[in-house]
Structure 1
């Protein structure tokens, strides 16, 4: 089936890397990095595992708990270099403060839209605010997990997103930096692009859409 649309993730795809932002926060808040890694490795593995067990990340991303509730629980699991828990309130804001938009990726979306392709943001939110500057030019539709009560890789969020742009999964490319989300999308019929770098993602999408998506 002919590709007619692009669904795309936010953090680490349309922004600078999540690892960079988190590392900046770890240093600023003097968090014990190795302990943080141990705590988060287990939470992330459970959040994207196949056992179906509920996880605090699930409830946060669906908007079923407040950011402060998650921050309080997470802060209790972490420790600073002084052996104390970090300040809970605003923890997620500080964690993601380093995100910066990647202009080449936004240019890709604007050019895709001008060429007639539908675009939709599909983002798992952690109770964070988004800088929505330029979204009107980049997206035909926006799906934020905490606003719709669904999260990737749940099939229903993909179904909701394609319904907003009037397409079928087989007519869409899905771009994300989390392999579990790409796997889920492919099982639903999407063409998946696992994002690692702007240049390679743009090149892959240019091949699929057969239109130039970057400045000369």
Structure 2
């Protein structure tokens, strides 16, 4: 790794990185409540109204309750009757904290590597159980900034808050399209699948090797 290409800071996504897979969680919700595990993600991908609801919510223009109501209506349009209240919570109920990734973030920070969160928010309680200001040097959340990934502006804000340029930073995200967008800005990218693999990739990318990243299990 050349001095020119080495990185000195890491930005992490939240859902699917610090937690178990969001896609798997939504699929389980679809199977259990909708009778079709593909429906939630298919709705966001293919239904223009549902997609706009998600964009407006993640960018802070649409609150928790109106988003739940709108999404429930779109599910009903697909022939699926769901309880509106608590819908987001039920979609996220199967997500569990990934302790190995939380440990990785802590170990990087202890080794002097600036760490930040760059996350598209979903619902009022999606970060419950995580003390984000304690875990990270900087926190950037889409609903507070009015812009969402994969917009380059959210990555820029995350880098600015860490005091680094994009070419000095690594983005860790479970969605490949978000990594592609980060790389277009000059960041290095890691598509997260499991903690040990992510730790190994970071140990190769960072100019200051974190002493414990390669041993995270």
Q: Which runs of no fewer than 5 residues in structure 2 stay unpaired?
A: none
Q: Which runs of no fewer than 5 residues in structure 1 stay unpaired?
A: 48-54
Deviation at 1:104, TM superposition (A): 0.9
Q: Please tell me whether the aligned partners of residues 29 and 80 of structure 1 are also in contact (alpha carbons under 8 angstroms).
A: no
Secondary structure of the equivalent of 1:121?
strand
- The 1:149/1:143 distance shift into structure 2, 3 A limit, reads same
TM-score, normalized by length of structure 1?
0.85
Root-mean-square deviation (CA, aligned residues, Å) is: 2.5
Per-residue CA distance 1:144-187 (angstroms, 9 max, x = gap): 11122111111111111111111100110001111121111101
Q: Please tell me whether the aligned partners of residues 186 and 192 of structure 1 are also in contact (alpha carbons under 8 angstroms).
A: yes
Residue 107 of structure 1, aligned match among 96, 103, 109: 103
Aligned residues: 207
Q: Which aligned pairs between 1:119-138 and structure 2 lie closer than 5 A?
A: 119-129=115-125, 130-138=127-135
Secondary structure of the equivalent of 2:95?
coil
Deviation at 1:35, TM superposition (A): 4.4
**Separation (CA, whole Å) in 2 of partners of 1:35 and 1:116:** 43
**Separation (CA, whole Å) in 1 of partners of 2:80 and 2:177:** 34
TM-score, normalized by length of structure 2?
0.84
Deviation at 1:80, TM superposition (A): 11
Structure 1 position 179 matched with structure 2 position 176: yes
Secondary structure of the equivalent of 1:39?
helix
Q: Please tell me whether the aligned partners of residues 110 and 137 of structure 1 are also in contact (alpha carbons under 8 angstroms).
A: no
Residue 85 of structure 2, aligned match among 76, 80, 89: 89
Alignment match, 1:157: 154
